Structure 1
Amino acid sequence: MTALPTRRQEAWRYADLKTLEGLWPDRALMARELSGAALNLDERIDGGGWRDEEVTVSVAPGGRLTGLIEQAMDATGVATQLYRITLDEGAEADLTLLNHGGRYGRLALDISLHKGARLSLGGAIVGGGEQTLEIVTHVRHLGPDAVSEQTVRAVLGGRAVGSYLGQVAVAREAQKTDAEQSFKALLLARGATANAKPELEIFADDVKCAHGASIGELDKAALFYLESRGIAPRDAQALLAQAFVDDAIVALAEGPAREALLARLAALVEAA
């Protein structure tokens, strides 16, 4: 894309266009490609400035793609990452997305599933202050018997904006598709905003597709229960926030990425 996006483009309707407007004239889009039958896509997007990249990934028939994509830019950094992923016949992908750094962080995925392919995608958005963080997915079921599951959670404090735009498109040839999307957001402050736009576009007539979205606050009954057992209020809030995102990051092993996410959650709770 050479022109600056506008809000008339559905995938950019909640984007931080004001920030991008100042950067776009100097855009230097990076690009790289990966292909094979056994791929591990472990990415940590960090540093300052603007990280703008398009990554093309092709998984061979019967192959497997695993990995973690963590957006952890510095406080003033900007990330606009696009991953174009093709799962050939019978291929599988198991991916975890963490989006918690920078003033503006956008992780976009365009994933094509051919016959019998399977996708499991978990994502967590954790932001505070004036951050704008997005996960945008376009999952294309192009062949029959493919399965996709997306689970995204957002925890937002301060005046942060967190968005999930997820489209599942089922082609006429993609009979027996099984697709599911789930997005939930937890707001820790009145100034925080969550946007959700799950979308289904179905042209096949023998499919199983579902999506759901909800936005709310910490459960006061659960907080009372924990506090009545002697847990300090801030610790109780942190535990509930962690439990809230856990079902989206079940594939995330113990290590620096999980520790960074939990530290960010704790900081948001402390500031709330």
Structure 2
Amino acid sequence: MQNTKGLALEVRLSAYIDGEVNEAERKELEQLVARDDEARLVLEMLKAGNAFGNKAFEEFLHDPVPLSLVRRIKQGPGVNPKSERVVNAAPRQARLRLWPRALAASIALLLVGGSTGFIIGKTGNDGVAPVDMAAARTWLDDIADYHRIYSRQTAEHLVEVPAGNTKIESWLASSVGVNFALPDLSDKGLTFEGARLLVAAGKPVAQLMYKDEDGDVFAICFLKSRPGTTDGKMTESMRDDIAMISWQKAGAAYVVVGPSADANLQQLADAVSATI
């Protein structure tokens, strides 16, 4: 237990929240909070900051790993654990452990104050409700939702038309309005399973489904875009556990979809772009 007497009120109340004060000081602080409005407000702010910090840290732990980092981990040279040097840091003074809660409380108050000011600013002149600033969904969001569902289906339900059907190319080309050649990705360890016809952003989308030796599902999706579109620049994006590499070419938009842990998705997208 710590003796925080003589320290700032925020530090003392932080220790109180953490249960790091002795019984006598705990009672003293509780009596102070009961009779002092300012102390009560500080305590509530610290509790709010604590909750905010815990939530932010929890969300950070669930953030998807960037695709580029996955590649570096899988393709780069590994670190020999035996060669790593472990250094035991000297323990810091107890009071140094108390600052994160005060910082979290400050961040929480800053966010609350900033958002309140934004709302007031948006409604102060004409009373109109704030504009919804949420980003609009794109066709890639729809494709990610489809892939998350279909990739978990068993073999007989994975595709709408199985790989042996010779009319897949003509069917999808006429439905989507994009002529294409069915990519052979066997040299990438992928087997063509079949195809589906989807709707994304209000447009028909062709979906070609592949599987690797581990049973992971990869998809190539494309739809007709603006006439004259020739931008071939590839863009990486992630939707939780799904990685996507998209580009536009010759009046069509394409995306290769696969597990975020796959380190070779860029090479796969390059092969698809060159052959489709």
Q: TM-score, normalised by structure 1?
A: 0.22
For CA contacts below 8 A with separation 6 or more, give which structure has more relative contact order.
Answer: 2
User: Which structure: larger Rg?
Assistant: 2
Q: TM-score, normalised by structure 2?
A: 0.21
Structure having the higher strand fraction is 1
